[in-house]
Amino acid sequence: MTSWHPSSASAAARSTPKQNVHRNFGIGTLAENDLGSESLDAFREDLAKLGWVEGRNLRVDLRFGAGDIDRIRTRADELVRLGPEVIVTNSGGATRALQQATGTIPIVFIGGGDAAANGLVRNIARPEGNTTGFNGILAVRGLARRLR
């Protein structure tokens, strides 16, 4: 599994939040394993710096698969039912489970190896459907710079 920092989900929230406080922007995350409280705290802090505050204008739905593909599929179905605006994954298995669960909610993968070779997309330069993403830790670090 590729190293993943959940602040990468900030990509979905890179624009200034709208003033509509009646609707929360939903970000789902599906990880093969627990991300740890330190990573989740950093994720929330990074989003807050961009004006997205959980409970005010942001809803974050976290799901973990504990390394079990059946559990990952179950968690993917749960996230889809919650209807977030985007779902971020950290592995090829989680991405494939979400691709099977939805064809409409955008899926952003962080890691998962060679996305084209692994069948996540046909062409990483021109991803199709509702799936796009980044491979490797350097892409994640570059994403954080672009969000600022």
Q: Round to whole Å and give the CA distance between 129 and 107.
A: 9
Q: Which pLDDT value is given to residue 105?
A: 96
Q: Which pLDDT value is given to residue 70?
A: 96
Q: Which pLDDT value is given to residue 1?
A: 39
**Reported pTM:** 0.75
The pLDDT profile of the chain, 148 residues, written as one tens digit per residue, is: 344 444 445 444 554 455 544 578 999 999 887 776 777 788 888 888 989 899 999 999 999 998 899 999 999 999 999 999 999 988 888 999 999 999 999 998 887 677 777 778 887 777 778 988 877 554 544 444 444 4
Q: Round to whole Å and give the CA distance between 93 and 69.
A: 7
Q: Which pLDDT value is given to residue 136?
A: 58
Task: Kindly tell me the burial class for residue 94, based on how many C-beta atoms sit within 10 Å of its own C-beta (0-12, 13-18, 19 or more).
Answer: buried
Q: What is the 3-state secondary structure (H, E, C) of the chain?
A: CCCCCHHHHHHHHCCCCCCCCCCCEEEEEEECCCCCHHHHHHHHHHHHHCCCCECCCEEEEEEECCCCHHHHHHHHHHHHHHCCCEEEECCHHHHHHHHHHCCCCCEEEECCCCCCCCCCCCCCCCCCCCEEEECCHHHHHHHHHHHC
Q: Domains of the chain: which residue ranges?
A: 6-147
Which residues, 6 or more positions from 116, have their beta carbon under 8 angstroms from its beta carbon?
122, 123, 124
Q: Which pLDDT value is given to residue 61?
A: 93
Query: Which CATH entry fits the domain spanning 6-147: 3.40.50.2300, 3.30.2010.10, 3.40.50.150, 1.20.140.10?
Result: 3.40.50.2300
10, 47 contact by CB (below 8 A)? yes
- Structural tokens at position 75: 């968690």
Q: Which pLDDT value is given to residue 33?
A: 78
